[in-house]
Amino acid sequence: MGELDGVRIGVTAERRADDLIGALVRYGAQVRHAPTITIVALDGDPQLRRGTEDVLAERVGFTAVTTGAGFRGWLDAAEGWGRKDELLHALSASRIFARGPKAVGALRGAGLREEYSAPGESNEELFGALTTAGVAGARVAVQLHGTTLPEFLDPLAAAGASVVSVQPYRWHSPPNTAPVFSLIDDVLSGELEALVFTSAPAATNFLTLAAESGRGAELRAALRDGATVCACVGPVTAAPLEAAGIRTVQPERQRLGALVKLLVSDLGGG
């Protein structure tokens, strides 16, 4: 018998969904999978290439790395264009700020060293430290992931930085939204004990798709009553739900394994 026997959990992730689902199933959970976004690698995208060329055009004073996967994707794309070594050389001469251990791992795996790593793994910490680090008059290269983050890049520019951003991944709605609408039905009919979110765009688009189906207000009301637990891997992921008045639970460590253990602790025993 597993601790989650009989517990019905909806998973909204696309990336690493198999790992998450496998772990939940091993505890006995009944998992309903409905990716709310699809992430597209942009190694062939001219916008990413132009951004990379902008980074390489002049000396970079600071670099901000928001995600390990995004940074590795950027290097992979640059390698395909024959410019990876040039990019690494340019970034190595800059002061590098990272958004936590995953970004640090990608940096060190590429032979780079960070000056700062956000202790809480949040964009607020990362860009707050960067904005106060003396960026006036400096070029700042920012690796984005999924969203453009104007709420953080605008203050950088206001502090006098020349911001050059690159976005190795973007997201959009999945090509087949039927599973998402089915998951919304499951929430509204009280058939799920929990929903699991592993990225802010996935949470955002879940609410957006519900609104597009005409059931946005009904879904938000159902999630606010707490019958379905909204479990998020961390505060960045939780932010769109919290902004909609939906309470979330989060593990202390922003890792999939910790998220699974939280669900076992909160929902174990059926």
User: Which residue segment(s) compose the domain that 80 sits in?
Assistant: 45-170
Contact yes or no for 126/97 (Cβ under 8 A): yes
d(Cα 201, Cα 38) in Å, to the nearest integer?
A: 10
**Which of these three, 102, 136, 170, is where a domain ends?**
170
Total domain count for the chain? Answer: 2
* Mean per-residue pLDDT over the chain, rounded: 93
pLDDT band (50, 70, 90) for residue 1:
low
Is residue 50 packed enough to be buried (19+ CB in 10 Å), middle (13-18) or exposed (0-12)?
A: exposed
The verdict on 74 and 153 lying in the same domain is yes
Residue 96, φ and ψ in degrees, nearest 5: -105, 130
- Please name the residues in contact with 53: beta carbons below 8 A apart, sequence gap of 6 or more: none
Q: 1 in a domain, yes or no?
A: no
Express each pLDDT in 40-54 by its tens digit: 767 677 889 999 999
- Asked if the structure places residue 33 within a domain, the reply is yes
Reported as a single tens digit per residue, the pLDDT across 219-258 is 999 999 989 999 999 888 999 999 999 999 999 988 899 9
Of 229, 182, 165, which Cα lies nearest the Cα of 35?
A: 182
Report the C-alpha gap between 36 and 14 in whole angstroms.
8
State whether 150 and 189 are in the same domain: no
Are 144 and 196 members of one domain?
Answer: no
Both 117 and 227 in one domain: the answer is no
How many whole angstroms separate alpha carbon 159 and alpha carbon 66? 20
Grouping H, G, I as helix, E, B as strand and the rest as coil, residue 263 is: helix
| SS3 call for 44 | coil
Q: What's 137's domain CATH number?
A: 3.40.50.10090
SS (H, E, C) 90-151: HHHCCEEEECCHHHHHHHHHCCCCCCEECCCCCHHHHHHHHHCCCCCCCEEEEECEEECCHH
User: Average pLDDT of 114-127?
Assistant: 94
Whole-model pTM? Answer: 0.75
Q: In whole angstroms, how large is the CA radius of gyration of the chain?
A: 20
Number of C-beta neighbours around residue 252 at 10 A? 9
* C-alpha–C-alpha distance, residues 270 and 268, integer Å: 6
Residue 136 lies in a domain: yes
Q: What is the 8-class DSSP label of residue 62?
A: E
Instruction: Determine contact, residues 205/37, Cβ cutoff 8 Å.
Output: yes
